[in-house]
């Protein structure tokens, strides 16, 4: 899935030798968490809105060079890797660099999450199962085999929790033979944390996911 069409080129990039007042003005008039700083067009890092209170009007950006953080995406970065970078750095704006280390634009968190929500996992009708099993015992190949052995299609799967050596995997399957799939998982010693073939669960997942709640509100 390509996300390059979501690169935003209208958000400014600031030069290291420029006035810090420009960055202060940017943060005070937007809801963005970070902004890119360059020197001779080369990417140096990002300044964070969290440091706004320490910024001094009348100073130059280079006076706060030590505040720069280093994270970015490349034009070739996948949507899933971009989403991980947003999460790891608790940001809602991610610089995108070309092969020459120059900023060609930004990714906005809302756009990338939108790509995620537009995947078949959310859009295709089906049923949701949340499985739990010992981290050393579970297998994605086994999960897939169980589903397909019941003449059911796997529409998506991802790990949603790891705790005390127990892993939780959320899967979405076509609704045919749903109960048979559940029974088979139990025979294979998977604990069914949640099982619902209602589309309402998808809406709840969108609205209540801790991940989306945290990072959509950065």
CA distances for 104 relative to 9, 42, 112, 153, 167, angstroms: 7, 11, 17, 40, 39
What confidence tier does 118 reach under pLDDT thresholds 50, 70, 90? confident
Eight-class DSSP state of 212: H
pLDDT value of residue 125 = 84
* CATH 3.10.580.10 intervals, the chain: 4-116
- pLDDT, tens digit, 9 for 90 and up, residues 63-98: 999 999 999 999 999 888 999 999 999 999 999 999
Identify whether the C-beta of residue 14 lies closer than 8 Å to the C-beta of residue 23: yes
* CATH 3.30.70.260 intervals, the chain: 120-216
Does residue 32 register a pLDDT over 80? yes
120-216: CATH topology is: Alpha-Beta Plaits (3.30.70)
| More reliable by pLDDT, 176 or 114 | 114
Whole-number average pLDDT of the chain: 88
Does residue 129 register a pLDDT over 70? yes
Mean pLDDT, range 31-50, rounded to an integer: 97
Length of the chain: 218
Mean pLDDT, range 144-166, rounded to an integer: 92
**High-pLDDT (> 70) share of the chain, %:** 89
| More reliable by pLDDT, 119 or 136 | 136
pLDDT value of residue 198 = 46
Q: How far out from the chain centre does Cα 21 lie?
A: 31
CATH number for the domain whose boundaries are 4-116:
3.10.580.10
Dump the DSSP string for 120-131. HHHHS--EEEEE
pLDDT value of residue 216 = 55
pLDDT value of residue 126 = 86
pLDDT value of residue 196 = 61
Dump the DSSP string for 92-161. SEEEEE-TTS-EEEEEEHHHHHHHHHTSHHHHS--EEEEEEEETTT--HHHHHHHHHHTT--EEEEEEEE
- pLDDT, tens digit, 9 for 90 and up, residues 172-206: 998 778 889 999 999 999 999 887 654 444 445 55
What confidence tier does 111 reach under pLDDT thresholds 50, 70, 90? very high
pLDDT value of residue 199 = 41
């Amino acid at each position: 899935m390509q996300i390059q069409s979501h690169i935003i080129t209208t958000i400014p990039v600031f030069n290291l030798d420029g006035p810090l007042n420009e960055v202060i003005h940017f943060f005070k008039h937007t809801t963005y968490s970070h902004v890119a700083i360059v020197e001779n067009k080369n990417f140096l890092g990002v300044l964070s809105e969290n440091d706004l209170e320490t910024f001094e009007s009348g100073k130059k950006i280079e006076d706060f060079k030590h505040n720069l953080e280093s994270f970015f995406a490349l034009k070739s970065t996948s949507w899933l890797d971009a989403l991980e970078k947003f999460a790891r750095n608790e940001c809602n704006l991610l610089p995108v660099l070309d092969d020459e280390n120059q900023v060609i634009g930004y990714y906005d968190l809302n756009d990338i999450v939108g790509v995620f929500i537009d995947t078949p996992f959310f859009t295709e009708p089906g049923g949701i199962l949340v499985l739990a099993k010992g981290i050393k015992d579970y297998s994605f190949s086994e999960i897939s085999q169980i589903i397909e052995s019941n003449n059911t299609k796997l529409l998506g799967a991802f790990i949603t929790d790891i705790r005390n050596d127990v892993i939780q995997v959320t899967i979405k399957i076509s609704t045919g033979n749903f109960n048979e799939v559940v029974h088979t998982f139990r025979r294979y010693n998977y604990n069914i944390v949640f099982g619902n073939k209602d589309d309402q669960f998808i809406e709840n997942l969108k609205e209540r996911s801790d991940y989306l709640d945290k990072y959509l509100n950065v």
